[in-house]
A = this chain, B = another copy of it.
Amino acid sequence: MATQTTKRSSKKDHNGTAEDRTAEICRTAAQIICEKGFDATSMNDIAVAVNLTKAGLYYYTTGKQDLLYRIINYAMSLVEKNVIERCSDIQNPKERLDQIIRNHVVLVAEGGGPIAILSDEVNCLPKAQRREVIRRKRGYLEFVRQTLRDLESEGLLQDLDPDIASLNLFATVLGVARWYRQDGAMSSQEVADEIAKFLCDGLLRE
């Protein structure tokens, strides 16, 4: 996504920069794909939903699989910006862990659900793209793992394998995307409280 977005970033449409427009297309497409399934979603469905002609949509993407690749990369950019960048300066590992969980849950709950769900669909991608996405995911997991290792070295981690614990954290937070409803009874902050409590109780010593 990065290369093409850069190439086109000088172009603007009525909704803002091409980058904004690509993000909007990713969000809308992710929602439709999650509702209808990747197979049953047509480029036309997506074009209609983002108020573009089909030809207009092909200005932003070369096809459905390329779109999935963009969606997954967009998901990772959001995680990098909203979780890693915001938390990497927090020195206290207990506080950092808490903030990683809260920021990530809020991101998923506040509209990032379909994008988070699709970020698991790496197996639909060709091998080279799959490798690139896995590399970015590892960056996130490594950040969480390092936080758990910091906790371990301070004697604050339960007797758990930090590698598996970071995968458990990731699964629980992404799991929110599969059940949270923005029009339901809980605010995203309340869900973040609940998930942070559950995960911190499971990960930290008293």
On A, residues with C-beta under 8 Å from B are 34-40, 120-121, 123-125, 158-161, 164-165, 167-168, 170-172, 174-176, 178-179, 191, 194-195, 197-199, 201-203, 206
Contact = CB atoms under 8 A, between A and B. Distances in A.
Contacts of A37: 38, 121, 123-125
B40 A124 contact: yes
A165 to B, nearest CB: 6
A174 B178 CA distance: 12
Given A160-B198, A175-B168, A206 B206 contact: yes
Contact of A198 (B120, B178, B202): B202
Contacts of A206: 206
Nearest to A165: B198
A175 B179 contact: no
B160 A167 contact: no
B202 A35 contact: no
Contacts of A121: 37
Given A39-B38, A194-B161, A178 B168 contact: no
Contacts of A195: 164, 168
